[in-house]
């Protein structure tokens, strides 16, 4: 049995893993899908002080209070920032890191280091105009790679504002034990050509990483849960003693 801890991305909540988590549990594994502070059913906790460290502490709390070890920790999109920070502080509890179409920071980097200047300015403007200076409302024109109308009807009412501070905060990565954790990058390549392509190019040729691709859009846990679960089960099998 493998413990899977699945971390959602910006504007989402733990709910988005429902389909994939069901498949992993059916295979006999324990699966945890927390909503980060200020998101999902914890939307009411969002404040101007909700930052990256807040979300890292969310994961550390799950690891400690659920007494989890031998964990496959998976981060989607913005969640890559969060799992990198959590691994830094809880490396001894983890056996694998999975980055699903996610940001992969280096020491001292923030998510905004990977954004073009015009997108970064757009986020600041959105927060000023529509989010009381600290919230980022989701764009109604962004479907996160989800094209099925039934799926869109399910996810749209559940997307909520994301704290801007989490994207501006830097993460410190200096723990050599964390750097030794095996890791996999999964690039969602349909349509590709997005901001995560930069990681695909770099990590596909990095021998210290496992690299995989899924022919689907950004929210693979919704659009291709069967394929994603199968890939995660393969990762779990590789970590068995």
User: Where in the chain does DSSP place strands (E)?
Assistant: 3-7, 30-32, 71-76, 94-100, 109-110, 135-136, 162-163, 170-171, 183-188, 210-214
Question: Which residues are within 8 A (CB) of 55 and not within 5 positions of it... i.e. 6 or more apart?
Answer: 36, 37, 82, 85, 166
Q: What integer pLDDT is reported at residue 33 of this predicted model? A: 98
The per-residue pLDDT for 76 is 98
**pTM of the predicted structure, to 2 decimals:** 0.96
- DSSP code for 36: P
- Residue 14 has what pLDDT? 98
CATH of the domain at 114: 3.40.50.1820
Structure tokens at 45: 């906790």
Instruction: Answer yes or no: are the C-beta atoms of 217 and 147 closer than 8 Å.
Output: yes
Q: What is the CA radius of gyration of the chain?
A: 17
Residue given tokens 């394929």 in the structure block: 227
pLDDT for 1 equals 87
Tell me, what DSSP letter sits at residue 83? H
**Which pLDDT score is estimated for 241?**
54
Domain encompassing residue 227 = 3-239
Catalytic residues: 77
Residue 232: per-residue pLDDT? 97
Q: How many domains does the chain have?
A: 1
DSSP classification of residue 30: E
**Which residue in this structure is represented by tokens 């995560």?**
196
At 240 the pLDDT is 62
Which pLDDT belongs to residue 238? 76
Block mean pLDDT (10 aa), the chain, length 241: 96 98 98 98 98 98 98 98 98 98 98 94 95 93 92 96 98 98 96 87 96 96 98 84 54
pLDDT of residue 28: 96
């Amino acid at each position: 049995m493998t413990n899977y801890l699945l971390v959602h991305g910006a504007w989402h909540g733990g709910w988005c893993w429902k389909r994939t988590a069901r498949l992993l549990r059916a295979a006999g594994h324990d699966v945890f899908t927390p909503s980060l502070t200020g998101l999902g059913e914890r939307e009411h906790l969002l404040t101007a002080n909700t930052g990256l460290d807040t979300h890292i502490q969310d994961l550390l709390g799950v690891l400690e209070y659920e007494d989890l070890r031998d964990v496959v920790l998976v981060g989607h999109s913005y969640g890559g920032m969060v799992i990198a920070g959590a691994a830094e502080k809880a490396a001894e509890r983890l056996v694998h890191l999975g980055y699903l179409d996610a940001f992969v920071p280096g020491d001292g980097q923030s998510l905004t280091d990977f954004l073009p200047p015009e997108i970064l300015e757009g986020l600041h403007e959105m927060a000023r105009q529509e989010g009381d200076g600290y919230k980022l409302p989701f764009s109604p024109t962004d479907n996160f790679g989800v094209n099925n109308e039934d799926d869109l009807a399910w996810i749209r009412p559940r997307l909520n504002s994301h704290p801007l501070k989490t994207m501006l905060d830097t993460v410190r990565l200096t723990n050599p034990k964390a750097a030794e954790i095996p890791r996999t990058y999964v690039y969602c390549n349909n349509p590709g050509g997005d901001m995560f392509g930069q990681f695909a190019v770099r990590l596909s040729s990095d021998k210290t990483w496992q690299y995989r691709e899924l022919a689907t859009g950004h929210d693979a846990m919704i659009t291709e849960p069967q394929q994603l679960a199968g890939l995660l089960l393969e990762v779990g099998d590789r970590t068995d003693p």
